[in-house]
Amino acid sequence: MRYHQGVVTRKYPLDPLRRVRADKVDQRAVSLSDALRKAEATAADVERKRRAQEQLDRAVRETARGERERLERGQLTAADLAREAAWGLSASLARKEMTRAVEAAQDEHARATSQADQERSSLATAQAEAKVVDKHHDKWRAAGQAADIARDEESAEEAHLARARRPGRQG
């Protein structure tokens, strides 16, 4: 469809910038969603490792208590005591390893949370930048509408004056 030659279509001059900023908001929203998902996963990992650590601690305490009771009743031999000492060392190493795993998971969670905070900030910045262009677009459109109204009123006034000046008409 072609417009009449006298019709001027006006396109918003910052439309490409407007689209780029809207796309940037969408990208930042996706990034934030991914970062929040990762933060939630790392929080679940920390909790899972803490529960495993608590279970290990409970098992070690219960086993040690049982062995102490057997020792107090005189039911253990020298070989049993040697095995208990070796088991105590392995339990201590397992506890240390579990503590390291929990700390590593907490560090990963802290990094993921920090990344989510950065993504949230980036999204807020992108939204603010897009809002600036949107406000400008609204002002531009309002100015165009005001100009269209002024042109229409001027045309109507010229038409009215032309009718009034026509011979044979009085008014």
Q: Give the pLDDT confidence of 91-127 residue by residue, as tens digits.
A: 999 999 999 999 999 999 999 999 999 999 999 999 9
**pLDDT, tens digit, 9 for 90 and up, residues 26-85:** 999 999 999 999 999 999 999 999 999 999 999 999 988 998 888 888 888 888 888 888
Q: What is the pTM of this model?
A: 0.68
pLDDT on residue 6 = 56
Whole-angstrom distance, CA of residue 35 vs CA of residue 74: 58
- The CATH classification of domain 15-163, taken from the options 3.40.50.2300, 1.10.287.1700, 2.60.120.330, 3.60.9.10: 1.10.287.1700
The vertex-43 CA angle with 38 and 47, nearest 5°, equals 145
**CA count, 13 A, side-chain hemisphere, 100:** 6
Burial 108-121 (b: 16+ CB within 10 A, else e): bbeebbebbeebee
pLDDT on residue 114 = 97
- Our CA dihedral for 10, 13, 16, 19, rounded to 10 degrees, sits at -70
**CA count, 13 A, side-chain hemisphere, 127:** 9
The domain spans of the chain are 15-163
**pLDDT, tens digit, 9 for 90 and up, residues 8-23:** 567 888 888 999 999 9
pLDDT band (50, 70, 90) for residue 4: low
Top pLDDT among 27 and 87 is at 27
pLDDT on residue 171 = 47
What's the rounded mean pLDDT across residues 138-161?
A: 87
Residue 1 has pLDDT above 50, yes or no: no
